[in-house]
Structure 1
Amino acid sequence: APTERMQELGCERHFIDVNTAASLEPALYPIAHKLIGATYTSRDESGNAHLFTQRLAAKCKQAGVSFLYDTDIVALNTDAHSQCPHVHSITIRPAGQNAQTFSADSFVIALGSYSVPLTKPLNIDLPIFPAKGYSATYRVNPRAPHLAPFVSLIDDEYKLVMSRLGDKLRVAGTAEFNGYNMDLNMTRCKAITERVQQIFPKGIIANSAKYWTGLRPMTPSNVPLIGRAHLGQVRHGSQNSAATFDNLWLNTGHGTLGWTHACGSAKAISLLIQNEMPKVQFDFVGIDK
């Protein structure tokens, strides 16, 4: 079972009975008779990824980082005749402006699903596939806020995750393979709302739903690609020292765990660029241990 496997890896996840589940999350009391049991991870956390990234960007700006928004990345420019693959500059096009070229010592590709089309012209084959996920954000019923959950929940049967964000409840899930299409499929959206209404019928205002979709950068192994880029097919832990870029780095393919892995991945790629090996043992791409 997944829970037993996680326990073997040191995760404090435990089986609990229905009464314990309802005492931990009172919003489950009205449907307790439909539950068989649950698992509980006391150290699990959730939050508002959008707010986190906004606050992080503000901190970075204070530290001197410049951000270019509404900007297309046109191309990575390489030295075609170099013995060791090398990126000497990047061409970008800010909205409403002409293309511009910048050079740098190192380049990090952290574009999620959009890492693939940028690297393909360089003959870098990334096994990343865009899996469209959906979320719905509802206003919590102000007359009965206790009937919406405060504890983050996972509905295993319907593969939905639920997080309380103040006076709102965000529910996310589903996976749709439809290329880079970003259109909202209302059938999927309504399915999420119908399920939430079944579980917490009086806890949310259903017609307040705000739907959103995004592309998860999935890899076949569900393990991210972190390390040096190299020519040809890139796999988790793959190395191609004869054709490995000396200044192009990958930090992509995190699937559903982008925010979960974000800080650790950033620390790892930072150390690798400085020619240091991170403490966490990991099969980094293009790194000869």
Structure 2
Amino acid sequence: MKVVVMGAGVIGVTTAYYLAKQGVEVVVIDRQTGPGLETSYANAGQLSYGMTSPWAAPGIPLKAIKWMFMKRRPLFIWPLMSPTMWKWCAQMVGNCNEESYARNKGRMVRVSSYSRDVMPDLIADTGIEYDGRQQGTLQLFRTAKQMKASKADQEVLAEYGSPYEVLDRDACVAVEPALGHVRDKFVGGLRLTADRTGDCRMFTIALTEKCIQMGVEFQYGQSIKAIAIENGKVAGVDTEIAGRITGDAYVCAMGSYAVSVLNPIGIRLPVYPVKGYSVTLPVNDDAFAPQSTIMDETHKVAITRLGDRIRVAGQAEIAGYSSRLGPHATDTVKHVIGDLFPKGGDISRAEGWTGLRPMTPDGTPVLGASKYSNLFLNTGHGTLGWTMACGSGRAVADVVMGNTPEISMDGLTAARYGR
């Protein structure tokens, strides 16, 4: 059996790995010059099992309005003349209620928990290095109001069995000693002890090398023109350089760009790009640097330690498929690292980056079967692609092979959109 995987980000590469483990001939195609060069390149580095939840939650529309008037705002919406964008926004608002939130949260946790459970086996089997740490995530609260509001999150964490600790200021400093230098800037925190961290692109590159050793073929520089349909099935993937690439089955793991090849063949997924920003800077002094991940609740910015580097990521910009990195685009994330860890990293050497998160309005990724018997989907993970990659890849690989996945696919497939 031969499977063609479209996309060489962390989602596509993990899918290829789990297929190859089952003895499948796999070809991975990507328009870039190597693996992990788009959304997987410089994300926050969090494996956020405890923070797995949809953006569409009760109260978010009102919060979003307030955020847009902040000086260093976590959300910005460009007023584009795009019916697709505004329809997606309306669908997201439609999910901002208690019933939808509970349903969507349950689906997402199912995937992220599975990913948490299977990732250690992958690491043990491959021995790959990716600057990984297992020291949890500290959600940092600057105000007593934020601390009080976190009780709702604590109830959800308890419901899904996600371990956590409520910390006062001194306990936060005990976990992240460098915060002792700015202890007047926060009142406490919520520590998610099961969360991990790691460099997503380093992981993707290392796993790609293992895949090659297992016989997986990677074809780069292959822009996909179309998915060819003949007799009710996928007949091949038409590329600009190699022409038609054929297989017995196909997996679309193209993130935000999946819709460009799926729409023409009648698969209309509400996946829309939400732009995020990050900077990566070298550690100046370990005594003043973070040890794991700190999530600044006020600015919605994550600060993550990756070996001898610090990754600072956040913001949500709804601006279509723009990949422009403006001169002031990373001002907010730079402000947060300078505010909380002023001596930890060298901001003058910070490397800026922007990427497009493939978001669904309900927050849940789109996995598994499609309307075509030999086409399978693995996209729409939003900000949690790194968190869900191993679980998604393994589950989709099982579906492709006709095996029963270890988690239920109910509510995870494109069928939930009624198309």
The corresponding residue for 2:311 is 170
In structure 1, C-alpha distance between the alignment counterparts of 2:243 and 2:297, rounded to whole Å? 48
Mapped pair 1:55 → 2:182: no
Larger of the two Rg values belongs to structure: 1
The corresponding residue for 1:100 is 243
Q: Tell me the TM-score normalised to structure 1 length.
A: 0.88
Q: For residue 8 of structure 1, report the CA deviation from its aligned partner.
A: 1.1
In structure 2, C-alpha distance between the alignment counterparts of 1:131 and 1:59, rounded to whole Å? 31
- Which of 224, 235, 238 does residue 88 from structure 1 map onto? 235
Check whether the contact 2:301–2:336 (CA below 8 A) recurs between aligned residues: no
The corresponding residue for 1:215 is 356
In structure 2, C-alpha distance between the alignment counterparts of 1:220 and 1:135, rounded to whole Å? 23
Check whether the contact 2:169–2:188 (CA below 8 A) recurs between aligned residues: yes
Residues 287, 119 of structure 1: alpha-carbon distance in 2 compared, 3 angstrom cutoff:
closer
The corresponding residue for 1:248 is 375
Check whether the contact 1:127–1:219 (CA below 8 A) recurs between aligned residues: yes
The corresponding residue for 1:192 is 333
Task: Pick the structure with more helix per residue.
Answer: 2
In structure 2, C-alpha distance between the alignment counterparts of 1:188 and 1:91, rounded to whole Å? 36
Check whether the contact 2:368–2:396 (CA below 8 A) recurs between aligned residues: yes
The corresponding residue for 1:281 is 408
Check whether the contact 1:184–1:212 (CA below 8 A) recurs between aligned residues: yes
Check whether the contact 2:366–2:414 (CA below 8 A) recurs between aligned residues: no
In structure 2, C-alpha distance between the alignment counterparts of 1:70 and 1:102, rounded to whole Å? 13
Check whether the contact 1:107–1:248 (CA below 8 A) recurs between aligned residues: yes
The corresponding residue for 1:138 is 281
Q: For residue 130 of structure 1, report the CA deviation from its aligned partner.
A: 0.2
Q: For residue 36 of structure 1, report the CA deviation from its aligned partner.
A: 1.2
Q: Secondary structure at the match of 2:277?
A: strand
Mapped pair 1:149 → 2:290: yes
Q: Secondary structure at the match of 2:172?
A: helix
Percent identity over paired residues = 38
Check whether the contact 2:197–2:292 (CA below 8 A) recurs between aligned residues: no
Q: For residue 190 of structure 1, report the CA deviation from its aligned partner.
A: 1.6
Mapped pair 1:267 → 2:407: no
Give the structure, 1 or 2, with the largest relative contact order (CA under 8 Å, sep 6 or more): 2
Task: Pick the structure with more strand per residue.
Answer: 1
In structure 2, C-alpha distance between the alignment counterparts of 1:202 and 1:89, rounded to whole Å? 54
In structure 1, C-alpha distance between the alignment counterparts of 2:328 and 2:322, rounded to whole Å? 16
Check whether the contact 2:303–2:337 (CA below 8 A) recurs between aligned residues: no
Report runs of 4+ in structure 1 exceeding 4 Å deviation: none
1:236-268 deviation digits (Å, cap 9, x = unpaired): xxxxxxxx2110111000000101111101111
Q: Tell me the TM-score normalised to structure 2 length.
A: 0.61
Mapped pair 1:42 → 2:193: yes
The corresponding residue for 1:235 is none
Q: For residue 167 of structure 1, report the CA deviation from its aligned partner.
A: 1.7
Check whether the contact 1:77–1:89 (CA below 8 A) recurs between aligned residues: yes
Check whether the contact 2:278–2:313 (CA below 8 A) recurs between aligned residues: yes
Q: Secondary structure at the match of 2:196?
A: coil
The corresponding residue for 1:234 is none
Q: Secondary structure at the match of 1:194?
A: helix
1:10-41 deviation digits (Å, cap 9, x = unpaired): 00022111111101110110111221110112
- Which of 234, 257, 260 does residue 114 from structure 1 map onto? 257
Q: Secondary structure at the match of 1:251?
A: strand
**Residue type matched to 2:413 in 1?**
V
Q: How many residues align?
A: 264
Greater shift, 38-47 or 57-66, is seen at 38-47
Check whether the contact 1:227–1:287 (CA below 8 A) recurs between aligned residues: no
In structure 2, C-alpha distance between the alignment counterparts of 1:194 and 1:129, rounded to whole Å? 28
Q: Secondary structure at the match of 1:246?
A: coil
Q: Could you list the runs of 5+ residues in structure 1 that have no partner in the other structure?
A: 230-243
Q: For residue 151 of structure 1, report the CA deviation from its aligned partner.
A: 2.0
Check whether the contact 2:269–2:414 (CA below 8 A) recurs between aligned residues: no
Mapped pair 1:67 → 2:208: no
Q: For residue 286 of structure 1, report the CA deviation from its aligned partner.
A: 5.7
Check whether the contact 2:302–2:312 (CA below 8 A) recurs between aligned residues: yes
In structure 2, C-alpha distance between the alignment counterparts of 1:117 and 1:151, rounded to whole Å? 37
Q: For residue 287 of structure 1, report the CA deviation from its aligned partner.
A: 7.3
In structure 1, C-alpha distance between the alignment counterparts of 2:200 and 2:170, rounded to whole Å? 31
